[in-house]
Chains A and B, each alone.
Chain A
Amino acid sequence: MKNVSRIIPCYAADTSGVCSALYELGGMTVVHDASGCNSTYSTHDEPRWVDMKSNIYISALTELDAIMGNDEKLINDAVSAGHDKAPEFITVCGSPMPMMTGVDFDAVAHEIQSKSGIRTFPLHTNGTHSYINGASEAFLEIVREYAQPCDRVENGVNVLGLTPLDFPLGADKHIKKWLGDNGFECICTLAMGDSLENVKKMASAAVSLVVSYSGLAAAQLLKDRYGIPFVVGVPYGLEFPYDLAGAMLVSIESREDSFYCAAHGGSNDIVIIGESVSAASLACAIEADRNVKCSVLSPLPTDARILADGDSELYAEEDIERYISQRMPAAVIADPLYKYIVPKKVKFINLPHFAFSGRCYQKHMKNMICCDLKEILR
């Protein structure tokens, strides 16, 4: 069965993707849920929870309110909290129970906004999809709501799809430095280390850099609305960042999009399991720095244009286990919790992924942006 796992975890869910994407933007996110979403997110999916405060709450849905369809309580509680916390905006999203009872989040958001006077928008999660879906919709809507027409910055760059679910804390600083070193000006890093004020300026960018699949929809919106082309990739390793910067210059010039991370070999020497843009970019980086061919196994939603020939999309534990067993690559690079389903004969290289193993290996997470990969691949 596709939805069964004997031992490996599941990835963070869509509600966590929403909360993570909007965490630093000064809004208030309300997950319509009884209890679990908040503790799961704040314990396992959010490394900023203790040191950086954010208005992320649950509605504390009860059996009676669910049965009676008491959406009024959610609305009134959100309005009350909006009064007390004065957020820049409010988002409401859902978990499995509201899906079952058919809560109309568009209407709920409309009511909250009209009663509170605070801009409110709905996000359509239900706890059954991956964090990629939630973060993707959150980035899309925040850009749709707040990016405003403004003068073009010729070397301006938006970075899209940056959350701690996919990147270690501090990744925003490394990307900003890399951009600066290559003559670019960072407009906004959506959404680590940045603010809603800079989201408003995103239309001034000359190019968008999509660093995870969750940033692609927002990049496409910026393209459609403001003609800003996008390049997909993460500047991992030593050589690949130069190539990626070059691709961004070409994109600015040509106004063409580039799925630059798809330019890897797709061979079975090394299989990288992970978020597609990160994994494909790492494949490019390893090929550039180490001259070893890699393929990507994406267990998360992605776009075929991000992947190369020979890459795969597999979601179920048994399919991933069979794929690795049949191909027997020289090495697998993946989160340590994948080790349970990789044959012992295959060399396993740990690459902790917060969206998969949460806090378990957080202290072992390493920055790979503009870094020699020798230590990581050792």
Chain B
Amino acid sequence: MSDALTKDRPREIRIADADIGGIFPSGLEYNPPARGMWNIVHTGMLVPGAHEIFACAQGCLRGVILTAAEMFELDRMSWISVSEEDMFDGTLESDIIDGVVEIIERLRFHPPVVLLYLSCIHLFAGVDFEMITDELSKRFEDICFVDCYMTPTMRTTVSPVMKMSAQIYGALKPLPLNKRAVAIVGNDRKTDEDSELVRIIRQNGFTLYDISYCKTFDDYLKMAEASVNISYIPTGTLAGETLSERFGAKHLHIPASYSFKTIKENYKALCKTLDVDMPDFSEDIEKAEQALSDALTIIGDTPIAIDYTAVTRPFELARLLCEHGFNVSYVVADSAANESEAFEWLKINNPDLLIYSPVNVNMLEMPDEEHEKILAIGQKAAYYFATDNFVNIIVGGGYYGFSGIRKIADLMADAFVNAKDRKEKLRLKGMGCASCL
């Protein structure tokens, strides 16, 4: 299977030989057909009643418009295309303002929020976004205009997904902070109600806000009263920090983790912040251990492949599974940010674990090669290893804490026994969203 000897840019590397600072050199990139991850269109649609307007070139528009079309939300999406001439004739700002005005006049109503997305070329051209939103706000006083960004060229500075995860709270207006209200921010899906995280918040009488609970714009506005904003996925941190700056609420980042030690530390920090007693987690830990043990009985030594879209800490999950006797053979990821401890542990304890690049050009033919039976965790792993036995989650699936480990173990056992229709599952965009396909 190894192409390390024949290829200029090998697609895989033993973890023992990998440098956490740069696992793979950057190069041309392939795009595998595993479509479950959300993009900035899906995220923007979480704001109830929001209308999205994209201003960019036709090539960039196409993907976002059809994202909306596939999720039956085309009536919440409009666009302004940018031509070559627009970029050089000094009308970039006025074209956007005129275009937005025309779109709003042609809508049969005024949406409470307009998410206005500009693109890389606008930022490179030095467009004055603030002037644009100020001008539009003057013309439409009943509409809140939120600056949004489709700027993949700047992804190494601030990723569009992280920025969008923050901007969806841009239409919130200050409210008196409520000490008994907390919010989970920066996620694109609900946190599992069975998690200790939600349990601690609810059982101690706090009101819990999450944008995915909001049915109306008024529901959404209430989020601003949260005195603590909790983020737990890496792309959610900016949302928490921004809300702190704007409203003075506390931001608590307790990263989704597959380390029992880190989970305990997270809950300690949570309980301290909420000023509540730390529960006894013995039973939760025991259940998680039991679920892992049960899953191992079913899965045995079948090789396991984990990808970075399934969980935000694939190497930490790999370590947890290795420690519990599973045969984790492959990780599909091109970085191990915030996972150095797990990465170093795997280097020593599972040195032959192979890391595959998710985008390397030599991954193209991999699904067509012969593979042993593999249990995959994540869509990209399922695609590349051509297995119908896979756990179909993205970004942790909303699972968190000890119960999250238990549920992922249960999903692994289920996936091992029950094959899925891989092609059908992987083609759907934005896991959890409606789809016309």
Contacts and interface: CB of A to CB of B under 8 A. Distances in A.
Interface of A: 1, 3-7, 9-16, 30, 34-45, 49-50, 53, 55, 57-64, 66, 73, 77-78, 80-81, 83-85, 95-97, 99-101, 126-130, 318, 337, 340, 357-360
A39 B63 contact: yes
B364 A6 contact: no
Interface string B75-113: 101111111101100000001001100110011000000
A133 B121 CA distance: 21
Contacts of A127: 57-60
Contacts of A14: 58-59
Q: How large is the interface on B (under 10, 10 to 19, 20 to 34, 35 or more residues)?
A: 35 or more
Contacts of B156: 62-64
Interface stretch (B29-37, B162-170, B252-260): B29-37
B106 A6 contact: yes
B275 interface: no
B29 A45 contact: no
B8 interface: yes
A62 B28 contact: no
Given A49-B33, A60-B26, A337-B74, A34 B155 contact: yes
B154 interface: yes
Contacts of A7: 74-75, 77-78
Contacts of A357: 66, 69
Given A10-B58, A81-B27, A127-B58, A4 B103 contact: yes
Given A6-B78, A50-B423, A63 B157 contact: yes
A359 B70 contact: yes
Nearest to B153: A34
A318 B74 CA distance: 17
Contact of B9 (A11, A12, A60, A80): A80
A96 B423 contact: no
Give me the 8 closest cross-chain CB pairs, A-B, nearest first: A127-B59, A40-B63, A13-B59, A35-B152, A34-B152, A57-B28, A34-B153, A38-B31
B69 A360 contact: yes
Interface of B: 7-9, 26-31, 33, 35, 56-63, 65-66, 69-70, 74-75, 77-84, 86-87, 95, 98-99, 102-103, 106-107, 119-121, 124-125, 150, 152-157, 359, 361-362, 364-365, 368, 423, 427, 429, 436-437
A58 B28 CA distance: 6
A10 B81 contact: yes
A360 B70 contact: yes
Given A97-B120, A360-B69, 15 more contacts: A4-B81, A5-B78, A7-B75, A15-B59, A34-B152, A44-B66, A55-B364, A64-B156, A95-B60, A96-B56, A96-B59, A96-B121, A97-B121, A128-B84, A359-B70
B31 A42 contact: yes
A121 B408 CA distance: 49
Given A60-B28, A96-B121, A3 B80 contact: yes
Given A59-B28, A78-B28, A100-B124, A3 B81 contact: yes
Contacts of B365: 53
A232 B202 CA distance: 69
Contacts of B70: 358-360
B62 A45 contact: yes
A3 B33 contact: no
Contacts of B157: 63
B82 A16 contact: no
10 contacts: A4-B80, A4-B103, A11-B58, A38-B30, A53-B365, A62-B156, A80-B9, A84-B9, A100-B124, A357-B66
Contacts of A41: 31
